[in-house]
Structure 1
Amino acid sequence: MASVRSALLYSATSKYSMRLLGLISTMVLARLLTPSEIGTFAIASSIVMLLTEFRMLGAGVYLIREKVLNNDKIRSALGLTVLISWGLGMAIAGSSPWVSKFYQMPEITTLFIILSISFFLAPYISIPTSLLSRDLKYRQIMIIQMSAAIANFISSVLLVIMGYSFYSLAWGRSIASTVQLLAVLWYRPRNIPWRPSFRNMKSVAKVGIYSSTANILKKSQTTAPDLVIGKMGTTSQVGMFSRGMGFVDFLSQSIEMGISPVALPYLSSVRRQGGDVLMAYTKAALLIGSLTWPVLAVASLTSFPAIRLFFGDQWDAAAPIAAILAYWALFRSVHSLSPPLFLTTGKEAWLVAKEAITFIVFILGIILSYRYGLEAVAWSLVFSAIFNMVLTSWVLKYCIQLNIVPFIRAMLPNIVLTAICWAVTCIIDLFVNFDQSDPVFSIAIVALVLPPVWLLTVMVLNHDIYQEIKNLVLKKRRSIIY
């Protein structure tokens, strides 16, 4: 448990630091680039981002989950990753003229070629990183990821200032991948094999096909709107919707990304030791929900001052979109840790089927609602998230025997906590008027009032997160004393 807590600390530190740096980068770039420029890059990067989920074909999951690991298995995982990742890199570069023609945007050709560079570096980044993750060496992973994030930020901003427009964002990602490779070479595990093997890849691919497909389908829920709106509408609309989506995704992922990387190794460890995986999942969902749900509920009311403060008044139209999407992210987060649970228990096929059904509902909702405006599109996403929450609960009950009623009962403290934080924010809005007041003042008031309200509520509820906070404080006190 100590190693898991340490891994969680480093993982959270890494992800939160990267999120903070990403926020600073977004704030700067949002003032240097127009919504149309952001929209152009969003269309190209959305396609590439989906393929990024497939380039490892689950090799990382295989390396983490495999009970007995040797060099032959590592070389097979590397070989599969080389085949898939390099193949996708060539496909991206080769298909760029046709994609440009489909969207009637010649700029996509160059963007695709630049973004394809990372695919040729990925195998020798992802495999060592997965081995570090297997051993819960998240301090090294933190340094690797932070180095890449800093390189991305500096290079992107400098290139934009030099006049390279949205191409700067693509070059920033490629430069970041190069820096990440150099850092991996420094921190790589000892005696790791670098020569790929193209034998015995079936066992790796069996896990990878399911996990990668599920990841693509889930990731598409944040990228597909850009692709559909990009075809049916304008790049400015893509940029505006992408900004609203990005704001909400930043909030939810800022919390979940610090925990999610540890979820699969943790649940796998519980299962290997004969522990109760469902109990561990329920507690993890309760803890992460105690942070995610209130933040998103508050964000639904404060989206206007937040977006104006962080990105400038040229993005005001993204505020109502973000307010709606906050509810989408909230419902989506209820079972945000379910993919590691499916993978841990060997139910990958169920995970893919669930995500595929949700994706169909998701896409149909976007297409049918677009004619009514971007806010209607956002509401269609909320509906798809509710559908996904219900479907996931049913699938978990059917194939993993998760008891739904006890699970809902366990989440009641989060519901009460979220309702109180939302109500307090509504009261603040009555006195402050978020849409009319200075955004700095509005956000400052919320930032001052809500944390004490949250802490007092978890104390009164005797929430599990409060017990974790107490344990952390006691541990810090002991370390200071001794």
Structure 2
Amino acid sequence: MTELDRMSRAIRSGAMVSYFGFFAGKLIAFATMVVLARLLTPENFGLVAIGFLVLAINEALTEAGAGAVIVWRRGDLNVTAAVALSLSLASGAAMAGVVYLAAPMLSIFFKAPDVSGVIRAFAFCILLGSPSAVFSGILQRRMEFGRRIVPEIAKAVTKAIVGIPMALAGFGVWSLVYSHIASIAIGLILAMLLSGWRPRLSLDRSETKAILPYAVQIAAIGLLGVAIRKLDVAIVGYRFQTEMLGYYTLAFSLVELVVLGICWSASQALFPALSQSVDDVARLRQVFARGLTVLLAVTLPVAVGMALVAEPFILSVFGSKWASAVPLMQILAFYALIYSTGFNLGDIYKATGRPQVLTLIGAFNLVLAVPILLAGSLWGVAGIAGGQVLVACVISAVNWIVAGRLIGVGSDVLFSSLLRPFIATVGGALGCVTAGWAVQGNVSEPMRLVLMCLAGGLPYLMFLALLMTRMSPYRTRPPAQDRPSGGAETKGPQ
């Protein structure tokens, strides 16, 4: 077995384990959400969505910064982890204080007086969650994905155990808040124990100087990512009633769970694998190409399928009171699909020590998204969802152009990886649509859902098996610096 084959197997197995853990945790969370959605109101979910908006900012600072730097840094793990823990605790404490003080102003901005207490409660989550990224980063660096998924599953179980009884007891929105606080605490304890690293604090000058610039850049990328991902939530919360934010949050959570969750899981395995290949540019490109081929074979049919079965799915699982989420889920499924095509390009930039590229692309994304989403809000919440699709198209194109110029992973890799899954998906979509049209009004919504999934899934698998007997790597165009005209070969972080 060649080194490339070994690395490819590690990526596949790591991605599978990561997604199994992610999916298992999210499946539990999904079941919990179904129960809570039937017990609570869309307004309750809207209030908590505003609180999660605040939490996402802290997660970008701690998880993106502290966690990524541990994976990237090739020095002494004990020294790096101690410095990263110190920095994450300091930033978490500062963020928690700012959030607590800003809660009343945020409630005024969102025209929701009840959200002030929710935001202040989530400030406590910031304190609890800040150190978790360090322990999780240690496990990711070691590629111990089996251990890494345990805290995520435990957090989902904790939410169910705490949240559902509280909702039944009439705690309303606080059943969502307290269950999240409990899950963060459990996740922190388990991540610390499973990492096998005894926590200690240090601000070693040389190590801090070495990792801080990288951590700051990754944190900046994370903040830009939050601004991009949560800009729609902020606009919906500001322009419309909290109830509409609840519909939007539910729809987005569903596509995030499935499509973007697959991308995230692939990233957990791809990033450390690429980090180990930075000294061999050709192997770096091959590792990425193999990973992308497998990824698109999953995300493309899943996203299209979610858009097609959105109506029977929402009505069957959540009930008719959530019917307004159907068109939002249909639109956002295509947003997630387009976004996923370039999602993992960021792993190449981070692995090769070029996080500034992500910063620039993220900044452009934010500048582009603000006017488009604001203009889309004139057509209601669905207009904002449609604006997300437009922004994703532009940013994905830019991302691939930049990657092609810098690393040689350009649109040819995307098209080669996309062709077979696309043809198979078209076949599956035709079967799904035909089945849905044939049985509409003649069977119950749950039965319609099952028939559409079978009529779409089986043809897709058949077509894919015929078109792609093996997931082979695709040749990639060498970057400018590797072409015969000369130039230095791309090097990773030293």
TM-score scaled to structure 2, two decimals? Answer: 0.88
In structure 2, C-alpha distance between the alignment counterparts of 1:167 and 1:210, rounded to whole Å = 35
Trace 1:363-402 onto structure 2 (pairs within 5 A): 363-402=370-409
Partner of 2:234: 227
Partner of 1:52: 59
Q: Which 5+ residue runs of structure 2 have no aligned equivalent?
A: 1-5, 474-494
Change (3 A) 1:56 1:143: closer
Change (3 A) 1:358 1:3: closer
Partner of 1:470: none
Alpha-carbon deviation of 1:453?
1.5
What amino acid maps onto 1:404 in structure 2? S
Alpha-carbon deviation of 1:198?
6.2
Alpha-carbon deviation of 1:3?
5.0
In structure 1, C-alpha distance between the alignment counterparts of 2:262 and 2:176, rounded to whole Å = 25
In structure 2, C-alpha distance between the alignment counterparts of 1:436 and 1:388, rounded to whole Å = 43
Alpha-carbon deviation of 1:436?
7.4
Q: Do 1:299 and 1:326's aligned partners in 2 also have CA atoms closer than 8 Å?
A: yes
Q: Verify: 1:357 aligned to 2:364, yes or no.
A: yes
Partner of 1:453: 459
Change (3 A) 1:40 1:395: same
List per-residue Cα deviations over 1:263-297 (Å, max 9, x = no partner): 21121123356652122212211211111111111
Equivalent of 1:179, from 181, 186, 189?
A: 186
Q: Secondary structure at the match of 2:32?
A: helix
Partner of 2:444: 438
What is the number of equivalent residue pairs in this alignment? Answer: 465
What amino acid maps onto 1:230 in structure 2? G
Alpha-carbon deviation of 1:80?
1.2
Cα RMSD, aligned residues only? 2.2
Alpha-carbon deviation of 1:255?
2.5
In structure 2, C-alpha distance between the alignment counterparts of 1:210 and 1:437, rounded to whole Å = 54
Equivalent of 2:203, from 188, 197, 205?
A: 197
What amino acid maps onto 2:448 in structure 1? S
What amino acid maps onto 1:55 in structure 2? T
Q: Secondary structure at the match of 1:258?
A: helix
Q: Verify: 1:209 aligned to 2:216, yes or no.
A: yes
Alpha-carbon deviation of 1:362?
1.8
List per-residue Cα deviations over 1:375-410 (Å, max 9, x = no partner): 222211111111111111111122223232344233
Please say which of residues 383-392 and 457-466 is displaced more in the overlay: 457-466
Q: Do 1:80 and 1:198's aligned partners in 2 also have CA atoms closer than 8 Å?
A: no
List per-residue Cα deviations over 1:66-85 (Å, max 9, x = no partner): 12224322221111111111
Q: Secondary structure at the match of 2:112?
A: coil
What amino acid maps onto 1:28 in structure 2? V
Q: Verify: 1:8 aligned to 2:15, yes or no.
A: yes
Q: Secondary structure at the match of 2:342?
A: coil
What amino acid maps onto 1:310 in structure 2? V
Q: Secondary structure at the match of 2:131?
A: helix
Quick one: percent identity of the two aligned structures?
A: 17
Q: Do 1:57 and 1:84's aligned partners in 2 also have CA atoms closer than 8 Å?
A: no
In structure 2, C-alpha distance between the alignment counterparts of 1:100 and 1:12, rounded to whole Å = 36
Q: Verify: 1:23 aligned to 2:30, yes or no.
A: yes
Change (3 A) 1:444 1:325: same
Please say which of residues 400-409 and 282-291 is displaced more in the overlay: 400-409
In structure 1, C-alpha distance between the alignment counterparts of 2:131 and 2:62, rounded to whole Å = 12
Alpha-carbon deviation of 1:146?
1.4
Q: Verify: 1:427 aligned to 2:434, yes or no.
A: yes
TM-score scaled to structure 1, two decimals? Answer: 0.91
What amino acid maps onto 1:449 in structure 2? A
Change (3 A) 1:70 1:382: closer
Q: Secondary structure at the match of 1:28?
A: helix
In structure 2, C-alpha distance between the alignment counterparts of 1:193 and 1:254, rounded to whole Å = 29
Q: Do 1:59 and 1:205's aligned partners in 2 also have CA atoms closer than 8 Å?
A: no
Please say which of residues 347-356 and 456-465 is displaced more in the overlay: 456-465
List per-residue Cα deviations over 1:403-443 (Å, max 9, x = no partner): 3234423321122122222222222223123x775221111
Partner of 1:462: 468
Change (3 A) 1:259 1:19: same
Q: Do 1:7 and 1:136's aligned partners in 2 also have CA atoms closer than 8 Å?
A: yes
Q: Verify: 1:79 aligned to 2:86, yes or no.
A: yes
Alpha-carbon deviation of 1:340?
0.9
Trace 1:145-156 onto structure 2 (pairs within 5 A): 145-156=152-163
Change (3 A) 1:466 1:202: closer
